[in-house]
Amino acid sequence: MSPTNWNEWLVAALATIAVCLPLVGSSQSLDQVLKTQQGRTRLAQESQERIDKVVMKTRSLEDQFKAALKEIEGLKVYNTLLSLQVENQKAKMEDLRTSIDQVEVINRQIVPIMTQMIEGLEQFVALDVPFLLDKRQERVAKLQELMEREDVTVAEKFRKVTEAYEIENDYGSTIEAYIDTLTIDGATREVDFLRIGRIALMYQSRDGKLSGVWDGPNRQWQVLGNEYKNEIREGLRIAKKQLAPDLILIPVQAPEAG
């Protein structure tokens, strides 16, 4: 190669190198810029994610706070209702105390009255027509025993006393036949009794041969003749519901003059 050509080639080569050097430097700066931008983008994304998490947590706390406020409001209403109920209960308790005090007063007043009623019933049975005498006297004795028991309420005692009076009252409007014993001419015999209200109490021996009626004014039994035997027998059958109700002729004490 001639010196002239060598010089031309060298000049061309240097020129090429001079052109290429700025391009290489520019390429390296762009990569750095891109890398830097990517780093910033990643940091921004991470920051956004952290912000989103904080926002979600804040919203959750806000929802919990609202729920707590609503629950508090509900508890306030509930407490108000409970307070009203407590006041009502206090008022009822006061009414009960007053009622109990009144009951004690009534009990102290009614117990002597019931005692008098039982004594009056005992005297009435003793002076009344002597039907079912043992049963009625036993009822009075049970009432006297009941009044001495502390495990029975005053209300139950009063119910039993009034019940006994109702039973005695019903005797005056019913007809009844029953079997019992009676002393006749010094001998105890089993007889059929016929009770018609309280106006007549008669008996007839089981063989039908003896008949009698209670004489109230003289407080004794009066023997009847055969003229009433069939009437008493028919009355017994009516009382036992073996015959339909019918008119019968029976001996009745005339009412005493007032």
Identify the pLDDT of residue 174: 95
Identify the pLDDT of residue 8: 55
Contact 212, 222 (CB under 8 A): yes
How far lies 140's CA from each of 85, 126, 165, in Å?
49, 11, 10
Identify the pLDDT of residue 180: 95
Identify the pLDDT of residue 248: 85
How far lies 111's CA from each of 108, 121, 154, 226, in Å?
6, 15, 7, 51
Q: Would the pTM of this model clear 0.75, i.e. be above it?
A: no
Identify the pLDDT of residue 18: 46
Q: Could you state, in order of their start, the residue ranges of all structural domains in the chain?
A: 173-251
Q: What is the pLDDT along the chain (258 residues), one digit of tens a residue?
A: 554 554 454 445 544 544 444 444 555 677 787 777 787 888 878 888 888 888 888 888 888 888 888 888 888 888 888 888 888 888 887 877 777 667 677 778 899 999 999 999 999 999 999 999 999 999 999 999 999 999 999 999 999 999 999 999 999 999 999 999 999 888 999 999 999 999 999 999 999 999 999 999 999 999 998 999 999 999 999 999 999 988 888 887 665 544
